[in-house]
Structures are given as structure tokens and as C-alpha cells.
Amino acid sequence: MNELTPAPPAETPQTAQAAPSAGDLAGRQGFDEQFLGLPLPIPELPDVDTILLPYTHFSVLLRPDKRLAAVTALGIDGARLFDLDRSGINWRLDPRVPADQQTGEAVYARNDIDRGHLVRRASAVWGSSEAEAAQANRDTFYYTNSAPQAADFNQGMELWLGLESYLLDHATDYRRRLVVFTGTIFSDKDPVYRGVQIPLRFFKVAAFIQDGALAATAYIVDQTPQLAELPDVPSPGAREEAPPLGPFRTFQVPVRDVAALTGLDLAQLEAADRMPAASALPTARVATTWRLLSAPEDLDLDFDLER
């Protein structure tokens, strides 16, 4: 989840561009499981119906029951990034999926909820040509790659967005490549708004090659509102008014905690976790070892990023 894009004014129609067809997305290769030079598949969600949607440089594992992605998978080639803007690109539904299985414009209209990129736009915009990078740029604006997020852009959100760049710039990774899995964490505390469950937490797991071996580090961002904002908010259920969302707080967490909270199969990444607490406290309960981050320098890793 990543880059936030404010909703356009009501008078700006989302249909200003021609609606894409399934043919427009034909040939998309999606996430490359060999991107790091070793097999790293998209995490599966056992016993839950999902739809795998390939785009340019990334894939989305969609949960039709939630109308949001369970996880996105992106390979970032830091040596081939382009600096492209988003001008002229509107959000649109993916024509390969029924509209009622996606969270579209109706959820974001006339409120303070933003469409948060799960695959960060700037991280996907790379390639061997500008045309390839531009296609990736456009692909990040399908609603399947968005999730409802707090509108206020705050320090916690800036940190969340910057983690990928920080790791890409400083980690001793293989060919300056990074894989990022990002997705939603659903719980019974999430409010339901306009028929869509609004996740209060999201996760990010970054994977790269360190000293010749797979390494991983995990993060959770929390937009749970402060208790003072909640006295008139009912228990989870359908709401007519947009629910309050709090400032983003970003935590470094063990990969196993992400697996426990989402149900995703992250065994390969759990074994590669480079957060010291993950190995030092292998039986610690979920959330007891989370590290609140205020800057990337607060990361706790068992290797030196500057090597």
C-alpha cells in the first residue's frame, strides 16, 4: 500500500478515458518468481477463493469475497527505474473481473478516504524502455491495486512509502533488485463501509539477496483511529458515513506475525527473516516484538545495510 492518490473532484468523470477491455491486458507477464535468481512464488492463501491477476512487473492476488487484494507481488529493478508522473491516468476497474468483485469508485466518492496504491507506483515504473515503464505506470491504477486508506498524509505514511526506497538504495541486494509483497490484514474490528470491509492494517514484506542468501524483513502499518475518536463509532457493520481512520503508525514485525494475521503461506520468507527478535524469540506472541518506527534508521536488522 503505498502511494496515496486523492479522489478527483466530483465533476471529473472517471470515464474520461476509454474503458479498458480484457484484450488491453492480454500478454501481461505479472510478477517474475525468479526475479531474485531463485524461486520465490507469490504467497498463497489456503482455503480462500482468490483470483491471480498479472500486470506489468507485478501481480495481484484478489479476494473476491472482500473485493480487495489479499497480497500483491512486485519485483523492483533499481537499475532501470524511470521518473514518470501520473498525469492523465485515471483509476479504472479491471475488465477481467466482475465489477462487484472489486472496490471501485463508489467507495471513494464524496468522502475523505483515499485510494491507496498497494503496489507503489514509483517502484513499478521501470523497464528496458520508457514504453515498458509507462505501461507499468498505467497498470498500477487498476482498482484491484488499491485499498481504502486515511486521507491525511502524515509522517507515518511518508515512512511507509519510503521503506522500499531505503532498502533498495542501501541493502547489498543482488543486481540492485528487491521483491515486495504488500497486502491487507482483515480483522473483526474493521468497519464496513458501502459494502466493503475497510482494513485497519496493511503489511509489507521485502525480500532480497544478502550475502548470497535470501533475506526478508516485514512491516505493518496501522491506521486504527485513536480511542478518543471512537465514542460514536458502532461495532463493525455497514455504515453510511465514512469511518474515522487514524494516523499511520509503522512497525517492523516478524514475518511470522504477518502470516499469523493474514493466513498467507509465508514459510519461505519466515525462514529468511532478518529481524533479530524473530530468531531470538521464536515463540513470542503476535505483536509482542513489534518495533515502532519513526525513521528508516530505526530498523533492527541482523546485518549492516551500509556494507
Beta bridge partners of 193: 196, 239
What residue ranges do the domains of the chain occupy?
25-298
CATH 3.40.570.10 fits 25-298, yes or no: yes
And the C-alpha cell for 4? 496515496
pLDDT surpasses 80 at 12: no
Per-residue buried b or exposed e for 108-129, using 16+ beta carbons within 10 Å of the residue's own CB: beeeebbbbbbbbbbbbbbbee
Cell numbers of 264, please? 498467507
- C-alpha R_g of the chain: 19
CA–CA gap between residue 290 and residue 256 (Å, rounded): 12
Residue predicted with more confidence, 169 or 44: 44
Tens digit of each residue's pLDDT (9 = 90 or more) over 237-289: 556 677 777 778 899 999 999 999 999 999 999 999 999 988 888 889 999 99
Confidence of residue 145 (pLDDT cuts 50, 70, 90): very high
Output the pLDDT for position 154: 57
Q: Which three cell numbers stand for residue 50?
A: 482468490
Quote the mean pLDDT of the chain: 85
- What is d(CA 129, CA 257) in angstroms, rounded to the nearest whole number? 39
Q: The whole model's pTM is what?
A: 0.88
Average pLDDT over residues 225-236: 45
